[in-house]
Chains A and B, each alone.
Chain A
Amino acid sequence: MPEGTGSASTLLSVEHLTTVFDLPAGPAPAVIDVSFHVDAGETLCLVGESGSGKSVTALSILRLVQRPGRIAGGRIVFRGRDLLTLDERGMQKVRGAQIALIFQEPMTALNPVFTIGNQIEETLMVHGIARGRAARDRAIELLDAVSIPEPQKRVRDYPHQLSGGLRQRALIALALACSPALVIADEPTTALDVTIQAQLLDLLRDLQKRLGLALLLITHDLGVVAEMADRVAVMYAGRIVEEAPVRDLFRDPRHPYTRGLLGSIPGGTRGSKLQAIHGTVPPIGQLPPGCGFAPRCPHRFEPCDIAPPGVTIIAAPRASRHATRCYLYSPAIASGVLPEETRRTPGTRG
């Protein structure tokens, strides 16, 4: 949600990004007016459930959105350059080399007919970093860096010969091949068992520290967020509804959706009722005219159905910025238009 302030440490600044899918029924926005920044070396978690637009945001940054999808507006400023103004050749120099992407499904992201080594070497060659013997050595080095045992041997393996956890490690090695400054990881551990997930999260954190990587981590798991994030952006129905440093988000969540997500985590007395959010995520192209969360919101009142709420800043300093899109915090409304009952509720439940 911040404006592009071009601070020295800003690596990526997404400004008012809107991505639309041209469906037979008409244009359906999947990402609406999304703004956030990622600083060098930090981890920003983008949280949301299926249909929230988090994966489309990731694809938009790399300009990999396929038809009928298209980027309809905004700027994606990476190291001071707007990626949306680059031609395809220029973009190819960014993809993989400066911004790398790690997908959820390591089996579909790796090519089954080439060895792990071949795939890493190809990347190194395409980006003109190394070839031949040097590329092979670098591939082994990368596999070693992601803690794949016996890298000299594994470099000759095909993807199917590796377990799910090792495959995901190989994919991380591939992503790191060109020493990118930013890694976008879209649900990188969702398909894995918890013990394997734990090892991979440890690995990502370790690599980040060693290499000074910035990480844009997309996940639906608030446990993963708590472990990994410096800052968090919560997405719902195409918009960022809350943005905060990780501690503030868990200690002092503002948006009713964020509160609902945190409340629905199992915990408390055994057998007690979980705080469910009723209803379901609206499908793409069927967003309500007002706030996207209004139909499911326990605090819904008149303005929510009229127009989407703007951004309310709760804490302004850039590093600890806390902002939300909700009429409960909108100063104009909170200062009197609001019925007493509604004004009291944001802090309390039930």
Chain B
Amino acid sequence: MPLLEVRHLSKTFSRRKGLFGATSVVRAVDDVSFSIERGETFGLVGESGSGKTTTGRCILRLVEPTGGEVIVDGRDVLKLSRGDLRRARRDMQVVFQDPYSSLNPRMRVSDIVEEPLIIHKLGSRSERRERVRQLFALVGLNPDHLERYPHEFSGGQRQRIGLARALALNPSLIIADEPVSALDVSVQAQVVNLLMELQERLKLTYLFIAHDLRLVEHICSRVAVMYLGKIVEMGETAKLFASPQHPYTRALLSAIPVPDPDAPRQRLVLDPASFDRAAPLREVAAGHFAAV
């Protein structure tokens, strides 16, 4: 049984044009379905406005979806009461993109990491403090720096603090929304290595939301490509990157700058008229789906 199963997830926002204008509906997430096996890293890629971040937020109910089901460990998260949802969230945590705005600047980092344990009333004070020390060591931070404030840490270290906080409750699913894209190139690799290491040690499952296709290719076993709210292609990363079927995936892959001055460059420009946006996903090869 997959750890996470998303079925027909939708989120629409309505917007009125002007005071007396007609309401228009934006389908930010449009009938999205996928599932993630335990221990897997599943990539959700797309450009800005594709709905990848909203999908992640809907799964956590940080944004209330308009329809569909989100089944974590056999239970539909969307049907849970407030209290049950809080308990369910212990099992799924999020790591945000911007380590500069996601940590409270007025809290010591030890308190930031301890906070989820307090909210969920876990352990005595000394047990919690001990757990915080362990978490700090786990993400490669110096436990001597526990009493510092976020601004005293670099971007990469802050992302480690965010990760320690996310891991405090022993979650099985981590939703990582662009976790390294705000970091310097030379620091990104450190955090990516840490994410892979932690996955192995703690048997974590990742939903990895990103726009960096090279990175996704490196760490994800399967990937779904989103375009204007829909998944247009999904499958094993290696196969999907080797033989993309959807015109959008092809255009996206051909747009990545290759770090090799002699690489052949053949840019494919997406012609939105060249495909049917309403086409459903169909299996084009074993485990490889495309909306063509």
Contact = CB atoms under 8 A, between A and B. Distances in A.
Interface in A273-321: 273-278, 280-281, 296
B47 A266 contact: no
Interface string A185-211: 000000001111111011000000000
A276 B218 contact: no
B185 interface: yes
B193 A273 contact: yes
Interface in B142-182: 154-157
A350 interface: no
Interface centre among B157, B189, B218 (most CB of A within 10 A): B189
B193 A277 contact: no
Given A49-B184, A193-B48, A250-B261, A266 B270 contact: no
Interface centre among A224, A226, A229, A273 (most CB of B within 10 A): A226
B257 A274 contact: no
Contacts of A222: 185, 259
Given A198-B267, A273-B196, A226 B186 contact: no
Contact of B259 (A49, A199, A225, A272): A225
Nearest to A236: B186
Contacts of A50: 184
A265 interface: yes
A69 to B, nearest CB: 21
Nearest to A266: B218
Given A266-B214, A270-B219, A281-B184, A221 B257 contact: yes
Contacts of B262: 247
Interface string B253-269: 01111111111010101
A277 B189 CA distance: 8
B259 A226 contact: yes
B3 interface: no
A198 B255 contact: yes
B252 interface: yes
Given A193-B48, A194-B252, A266-B218, A220 B185 contact: yes
A161 interface: no
A276 B190 contact: yes
Given A199-B269, A266-B214, A275 B255 contact: no
Contacts of A271: 196, 218-219
Contacts of B259: 222-223, 225-226, 250, 262, 265
A264 interface: yes
Given A226-B259, A266-B214, A267-B214, A202 B267 contact: yes
Interface in A227-281: 227, 229, 246-247, 250, 257, 260-262, 264-268, 270-278, 280-281
Contacts of A278: 190
Contact of A250 (B47, B188, B255, B260): B260
A349 to B, nearest CB: 14
B71 to A, nearest CB: 27
12 contacts: A223-B257, A247-B262, A264-B188, A265-B214, A266-B192, A266-B218, A274-B189, A276-B189, A277-B186, A277-B187, A278-B190, A280-B187
Interface of B: 47-48, 154-157, 184-190, 192-193, 196, 211-215, 217-219, 221, 237-238, 251-252, 254-263, 265, 267, 269-270
Given A49-B186, A277-B186, 11 more contacts: A221-B257, A222-B185, A250-B260, A261-B185, A266-B212, A266-B218, A270-B218, A273-B193, A274-B189, A276-B190, A280-B154
User: Which 7 A-B residue pairs are closest in the complex by CB-CB distance?
Assistant: A223-B257, A266-B218, A276-B189, A198-B255, A193-B47, A264-B189, A274-B189
